[in-house]
Structures are given as structure tokens and as C-alpha cells.
Amino acid sequence: MSALNLDDFSDLIERPDSGVRRDAEERRERLAVPAGALGRLDELGEWLAVAQATVPVRPVARPRVVLFAGDHGVAELGVSARTAGSAHELVRAVLEGGSAVSVLARRLDVPVRIIDAGLDCDPALLPDDVVRHRVRRGSGRIDIENALTTEEAEQAVRLGMRIADEEADSGTDLVVLGDLSVGGTTAAATLIAALCGTDASVVTGRGGAPIDDLAWMRKCAAVRDALRRARPVLGDLLELLAAVGGADLAAITGFLLQSSVRRMPVILDGVVSSACALVAQRAAFRSPDSWLAGQLSGEPAQAKALDRMALNPLLDHGVTVGEGAGALLALPLVQAAAALAAELPERAEEKTV
């Protein structure tokens, strides 16, 4: 396997066609509904036109929820409300239909795909189509050791790229991206702090299942110690993911980059997908053109990452459950924007006397 340089994606991701954006804006001006009357739905319609490279936009007919799963060794420090190594229970809940994202996905008739990138469990506990992609069992404790070897980080990024290709090739026209992890928000906060040059206390939140003050202080300390290990490798994004990321985060980063190459729109969920997006943006500055921030989760690190990428969240409902649930709530608005942009009639030409 050849060495992977994430910076190479900068040459693979095409610059958005300015003509498409201009055509979308001009078409919007001709519609019977006055420009601006639909609020952010107008903006979403133009975003889709650019992402799809077509005017009028095509309906979002085959969306899919894609969730990357993994356990993080840093959870052993008590930085999460969940027990270390228990992310497989989150996966099982989704598969059995008892999670928030499962309920929403059934209601919206959207299929859910789960990829085990680094769960710390016996593979026999889960279906083969989930566990067969696993890079390694769990990730290292990032406060004292690397999450992955460089080879594992590359394998995980390539896994994400492969999943993006599979989705694009199968006809998926929009992905709702999320994670199923324990300890993942600690790794995400570390990545964002490192890339934004921020202290641990500024980016450390209380996670999807809120933690108490003592756990928050342990989490701050873990991010602080991990940051010391991250700063020396900031110049190499693959090494950064190996040092303080994890198999799931590296896979999400690869997925986002390859989705941008394939021009497949992605709705980001919470702090984990936002952290990976920030890494991907550092590698290829044009990659965020095909992403939408679905929601603001309340995690301070997520807000900082989205601000750095100039992504304005669509929703702010305080959804912290993770699983892609908050991003999935944004999907109906995106579908509505696509329908309006494509189906609203143009104004009749005024007759001159």
C-alpha cells in the first residue's frame, strides 16, 4: 500500500463551477416566490445546486445515514458517562431499532449503515457486515500513547474513502454522517484544539450523555495531555490522526475527503464529524463546499470548528444524543429546499405595451 498524503486531496477536489452558482442565483430570481421569502431554504437550494453541479437541482431521493463506530482508550479515565469499551452497545441499540436515530430513520424512511472501524468487543457480538471493516480493536489512550500506528491510521482513512466510493457508486445522493463512540468527543476536542491553537478548557464539553463536574475536569486534563502530544505532529495530518484521533475519526476524515471528490453532499452531525471535517479542510480547503452543518450540538469544540470552516449550522435544538440524529433532523429541510428549487414555477414574463 503506497504512502498516503492527505494534502494530495487538494488537487483531487474540483473547484465549484461558478457558472452553476450564477445559474442557480439567476433561476432563483425568476421564481414566482420572491427571493428571500423562503429564508435559508433558498441558501440550501443553491448549496445543493453547487454540490450537484446542476440547475435546477435534483431531488434528494436516496439519502443514507452512515455511522462510523469505535471505542477510545481515553474513556478508561472516566471522561464519558458511558463505560469504556461499550460502544458496541450503542451499535446494538441502532441495529435493534431502539435508538433515537433508528426511530427517526424509520419515520423518514432512510436506511442506516454502520461501519465498525475500531470497536473494542468480540466481533461475534455484531453482524459481519458491521464488523468486517474493523481496523483494530479499540484505540490507544491518547493522553499517554498514540491512538493508532501510522499504518493503522492510513488503513482507517482508506476505509473511509472506500465506504464513500461504495455509497456514491450505489446511487446514494446525500449522506447523513455520524458516529457511535465512547470517548470520541475527547479525541475530537483534542483535534479541534490542536488545529485551532486553543487551550483544552475552551473546547472541552460534557459529551452526548452529559458528565458531571469531576468527569469534566478529568476530560479537560486528558485533552490537555493529548494536546501536548498532538502539537509536534501538526504538520502531518495522518500522523495527527494516528497520535490523537482514532480509527473511527480517521475513517470519517477519509470518508469526507472522498465524498468531496465524488461530489456527494454530506450533512455533518456533532463534534466528532466536525473535528474530522476540520482535519479534512486542512488537507483540502475546497472540501467543505459539499458539506452542510446539520445542527449545533452545544459542544464548544464543535462551534469553534464550524466557525473556522465558515459553516453555519442549520438547526439548534440542543440535540446531544449523537448517532447522527441531530443531522438527520435537518434532512427534511434539505429535501424541501431541493423540491422548491426544482419545482417552483418561474414568473410569467411581463407584457410590454
Looking at the annotation, which residues are catalytic? Answer: 323
Please classify residue 186 by burial: count the beta carbons closer than 10 Å to its beta carbon, then call 0-12 exposed, 13-18 middle and 19+ buried.
Answer: buried
Q: Which of these, 24, 65, 69, 64, lies nearest to 44 by C-alpha position?
A: 24
Amino acid at 54: T
177 within 8 A of 115, measured Cβ to Cβ = no
DSSP assignment of 288-310, as one string? GGGEEE-B--S-HHHHHHHHHHT
Q: Enter the DSSP assignment of 348.
A: P
The whole-angstrom separation of Cα 334 and Cα 45 is: 8
**What burial letters (b/e) apply to 16-44, b meaning 16+ CB within 10 Å?**
beeebeebbeebbeebeeeeeebeebbeb
